[in-house]
A and B are shown apart, each in its own frame.
Chain A
């Protein structure tokens, strides 16, 4: 069953700024959707429009078939977790969680029951009488989630909820959020700029760029078949090697002189892409090209090698190669590489669309 539908939803600010031209998205019940993109891409605005904190300029938002555009945030049956948690500082954890239920006129004993259930689920039982300032960052994060969960809403909205936590806690909370969402089965819309968070959490990802949805799909769809160079560069770490190239009868010309054989009907300027992890070390006779090594990053489990495509002019494009395990090649030495054709990504340089 489709739970949330955004139909040609757009946002124009009073000063004329076109923050979001038009976004279409339909979310299934229980689905975990992540909105991801660089800062300023409009992802938070879109989330706030779903929450009712920003007005919808054009298009329609429907939750369970009902038009939401004119409804107050409180009447949309959504709950939101804010980046800075937005806990009420003068209330105890218990009162923070009970506030929304009290406002809806729920009976006191029922509130107590609900709050203690959720608190137990999140391990907050001991902290119910504390004030937010007496809690650690991770605990505050949990209270913010508890406050959202206790209301049992139709939709959870998360606005970069993990960005204020340290790296270790972020990984832990990421796993917890995913487990909780599975357990509760609540439809979730989650905003982040972190592509790792996006990939690990999402059932489906929406990659936003300048207010436009560049691509919507499962993490693996986006990884395997990015629709545009923007998505290709954004998803995956380190990001995909994207080189300006030309498609001719002979194949793809990279760095002006190197040709990789390919028969393809398209002609003209293209963007040729291959992920760092898909380049293989080869030898002088079998290799497609050579890389002049400029820097080596050893991470133990993997090694990232930065270099330039070796050409006669010395003006080759920069590339990154990712090899598993430790490697210690010499700086300035040549590395022979093979780029298997099944991992190539071709994009039209003008339309930016996948070929």
Chain B
């Protein structure tokens, strides 16, 4: 069914606010970044020079950039896999709770409402080598925790801080997915002699696959593009480059290193990645699974 408007202008008028916001806050900056990527600007922003693809050439010949890509991949997949595993475990347990179900589920969903930077600060305090309770506890357990010096520990910290928030989101989807699995299938499997563990892995988990795939994409996108706040509040990309993800590097090179052209070139690369991920999301997530 299509709804038509009597006047041709009205639909455009109604769309205008959204179009304006998109144009001013998304399209214009994107166009600026794209343009900037082909220029070299002086440190004071007074003059610039067209240099073609030189920014890109520099970027792809810089070993630090490849290092950052690797860091991003390690970081993103860690966030996605840890976040989804914990969320699935919590969802399976929440699905079995009978008393106080709603309170339990609500509490698990709350962290999602915490702002990224705040979540970062929270974990930064907990893990602070000189006063953080977790860091002190780790020290007493014989682990020398100092994420200011140890790159792997810094990575673990940003992964934990970024994952924590996301667990709530994943939990919500997994719980909904679990509740959509018909009881009778589980009962049939029980009669068919499958242990609870086997029932989960051979019946429930395969039926959750659309949810799992959807969450994988969403979590990767989140870890790629939305974890700037967490990283900035905890490690600022350090020590060295050990937690500098691609997005953090755009900020670091552009606003700290003042290489606006190089930073813009990186943004263009990121735009390409976003586009690709969007295509994947639309292409595969529409896959439907029938439950009966």
Q: Which residues of A contact B (CB under 8 A)?
A: 51-53, 72-74, 78-80, 82-90, 99-100, 103-104, 132-133, 147, 151
The segment out of B170-178, B181-189, B239-247, B256-264 that lies at the interface is B181-189
A151 to B191, CA, bound (A): 11
A88 to B290, CA, bound (A): 10
Interface pair B289/A72, CB less than 8 Å apart: no
Interface pair A86/B289, CB less than 8 Å apart: no
Q: Which residues of B contact A (CB under 8 A)?
A: 182, 184-185, 187-194, 198, 202-203, 206-207, 209, 289-292
Interface pair B291/A89, CB less than 8 Å apart: yes
B292 and chain A: residue at smallest CB distance: A84
Interface pair B206/A99, CB less than 8 Å apart: no
Q: Which of A52, A78, A103 contacts B194 (CB 8 A)?
A: A103
A80 and chain B: residue at smallest CB distance: B191
Interface pair B193/A89, CB less than 8 Å apart: no
Interface pair A86/B193, CB less than 8 Å apart: no
Interface pair B188/A86, CB less than 8 Å apart: yes
Interface pair A79/B193, CB less than 8 Å apart: no
Interface pair B188/A80, CB less than 8 Å apart: yes
Interface pair B192/A100, CB less than 8 Å apart: yes
Interface pair B207/A74, CB less than 8 Å apart: no
A-B contact count (CB 8 A): 65
Interface pair A88/B191, CB less than 8 Å apart: no
Interface pair A86/B184, CB less than 8 Å apart: yes
Measured between beta carbons, the chain B residues less than 8 angstroms from A80 are 187-188, 191
Known: A84-B184, A86-B185. A53 touches B190 (CB 8 A): yes
Q: Which of A53, A103, A151 contacts B187 (CB 8 A)?
A: A53
Interface pair A103/B198, CB less than 8 Å apart: yes
A76 and chain B: residue at smallest CB distance: B191
Interface pair A133/B290, CB less than 8 Å apart: yes
In this complex, which of A78, A89, A133 has the most chain B Cβ atoms within 10 angstroms of its Cβ? Answer: A89
Interface pair B182/A86, CB less than 8 Å apart: yes
Q: Which are the 7 A-B pairs with shortest beta-carbon distances?
A: A100-B192, A74-B193, A86-B184, A103-B193, A86-B188, A73-B191, A90-B206
Measured between beta carbons, the chain B residues less than 8 angstroms from A104 are 193
A270 to B27, CA, bound (A): 86
28 contacts between A and B (CB under 8 A): A51-B187, A51-B191, A52-B190, A53-B191, A72-B190, A74-B190, A74-B191, A74-B192, A78-B191, A80-B188, A80-B191, A82-B184, A82-B187, A82-B188, A83-B184, A84-B184, A85-B292, A86-B185, A88-B185, A88-B189, A89-B290, A90-B206, A99-B189, A99-B192, A100-B192, A103-B193, A133-B290, A151-B192
A72 to B184, CA, bound (A): 16
A100 to B190, CA, bound (A): 9
Q: Taking the nearest CB of chain A, how far is it from the CB of B251, in angstroms?
A: 44
Measured between beta carbons, the chain A residues less than 8 angstroms from B290 are 89, 132-133
Q: Taking the nearest CB of chain B, how far is it from the CB of A110, in angstroms?
A: 16
A78 to B185, CA, bound (A): 16
Q: Taking the nearest CB of chain B, how far is it from the CB of A173, in angstroms?
A: 18
A100 to B195, CA, bound (A): 11
Measured between beta carbons, the chain A residues less than 8 angstroms from B188 are 80, 82, 86, 88, 147
A133 to B290, CA, bound (A): 7
A79 to B189, CA, bound (A): 11
A99 to B188, CA, bound (A): 10
Interface pair A89/B292, CB less than 8 Å apart: yes
In this complex, which of B184, B192, B202, B207 has the most chain A Cβ atoms within 10 angstroms of its Cβ? Answer: B192
Interface pair B191/A79, CB less than 8 Å apart: yes
A159 and chain B: residue at smallest CB distance: B184
Measured between beta carbons, the chain B residues less than 8 angstroms from A89 are 207, 289-292
Known: A84-B184, A84-B292. A90 touches B207 (CB 8 A): yes
Q: Taking the nearest CB of chain A, how far is it from the CB of B290, in angstroms?
A: 5
A331 to B208, CA, bound (A): 62
A87 to B209, CA, bound (A): 17
A73 to B162, CA, bound (A): 43
Measured between beta carbons, the chain A residues less than 8 angstroms from B191 are 51-53, 73-74, 78-80, 100
A82 to B209, CA, bound (A): 24
Measured between beta carbons, the chain A residues less than 8 angstroms from B182 are 84, 86
A98 and chain B: residue at smallest CB distance: B192
Measured between beta carbons, the chain B residues less than 8 angstroms from A82 are 184, 187-188
A133 to B187, CA, bound (A): 20
Interface pair A99/B184, CB less than 8 Å apart: no
B188 and chain A: residue at smallest CB distance: A86
Measured between beta carbons, the chain A residues less than 8 angstroms from B192 are 74, 99-100, 103, 147, 151
A72 to B194, CA, bound (A): 11
A103 to B189, CA, bound (A): 9
A53 to B183, CA, bound (A): 11
B206 and chain A: residue at smallest CB distance: A90
Measured between beta carbons, the chain B residues less than 8 angstroms from A74 are 190-194
A72 to B196, CA, bound (A): 11
Other than the known A90-B207, A104-B193, what 13 A-B pairs have Cβ atoms closer than 8 Å?
A51-B187, A72-B190, A73-B190, A74-B191, A74-B193, A74-B194, A84-B182, A85-B292, A87-B292, A89-B291, A99-B192, A100-B192, A103-B194
A143 to B184, CA, bound (A): 15
Measured between beta carbons, the chain B residues less than 8 angstroms from A100 are 191-193
A73 to B190, CA, bound (A): 6
Measured between beta carbons, the chain B residues less than 8 angstroms from A79 are 191
Interface pair A90/B289, CB less than 8 Å apart: yes
Measured between beta carbons, the chain B residues less than 8 angstroms from A88 are 185, 188-189, 203
A73 to B292, CA, bound (A): 22
Measured between beta carbons, the chain A residues less than 8 angstroms from B202 are 99
